[in-house]
Amino acid sequence: MINPIHDLAQSQTHFSRQNKDRFYLLKLLLMVSGLLIGSVFLTTKASAQIQIADENIELPDYKAYETGLDAAYAGDYVTALREFTIAADAGLHLAQYNLGVMYYTGEGVAQDYALAFKWTRMAAEQGHINAQFNLGTLYYNGLGMRSSLFTHWPLSLIFQQSNFEEAVKWYGYAAEYDHGEAQYNLATMYEKGEGVAQDLIKAHMWARLAFDNEVPDATLLYNSLTARLTSAQREEAGRVYAQWVLEFRG
C-alpha cells in the first residue's frame, strides 16, 4: 500500500491514502517555513554540493521570494504568485518548489498540473529534496508532463512504464538524502515491480530505512517483507541495508 499522510508538522509530502491518483503536497505556508537555510543543492546525481558564488555569478532574487512569502502568510496569493514567479524565473529553487505546490493544489491559482510539473522539475533538478520527491509522485501518477488525455485508460498505459521508471529515479535521489517517504515509496515499487524488476531484498532494505525514519505503514511493510524472505534473503537484505547506512548515513 502506498504510504498515507503524516502530521503536517513533520513538513513532508506523501501519497494520499484515499486516492492513489493524487499526492499530498504540503500547504504552502507549512512547507516553506524551514527552507531558507544555507546551502544550495546541485543535482547531476543525488549528491549535495555547495554552490560557490563569485562576482560573475548572478544570484537568485531572494528579496522577491521573501516578499512573496510575506504575502502568502497574509493570504495575498496574487502578490505571492507574482513575486515567487520573479524569484523562480531568476533560478531560486525555493520559489520554483512553492510555485509547483501552488499550481498542484490550486492554492491562490487555477490548478494546473503542467505548470506544477514544470516548476517542480526545475526545483528538483537543482537538488531540492522535497521537489525531487514531488516530481517522483507526479511521474508516478502521470500528471503534468503530457496532455490530460493521457491520464485516462487506455492512453494512460502507453507511458505508464516510463513514468514509473522516472518515479523510481527521482524517489531515488530523495531517498539518498534519507527522505523517509521516498524510501517507503521505493519499497512498495520494488515489492510490486513498478518501474523496476521486482526485488524483495531491495524492497526490504528501503522499507527498513523508512522504518528507521518512522514513516507510517513502514513497520507493516517491513514485517511483511521479512516474513516473505528466506533466511538467506534476510541475511542479504541486512547486508545491503548496512552498506547503504555506511555510505549515506556515515
Which range in 48-52, 155-159, 213-217 is most confidently predicted, on average pLDDT?
Answer: 213-217
d(CA 245, CA 248): 5
All structural domains of the chain: 8-178 (1.25.40.10)
Nearest by Cα to 186 from 163, 177, 18, 170:
170
CB 130 within 8 A of CB 12: yes
Q: Give Cβ neighbours of residue 202 (< 8 Å, ≥ 6 apart).
A: 186, 190, 196, 240
Q: How far is CA 227 from the centre of its chain?
A: 29
Lowest mean pLDDT among 28-32, 137-141, 196-200, 232-236: 28-32
Q: What is the model's pLDDT at position 45?
A: 34
Q: What is the pTM of this model?
A: 0.77
Q: Three-state SS for 214?
A: coil
Q: What is the model's pLDDT at position 240?
A: 98
d(CA 238, CA 229): 11
Looking up cell 521508471 gives: 165
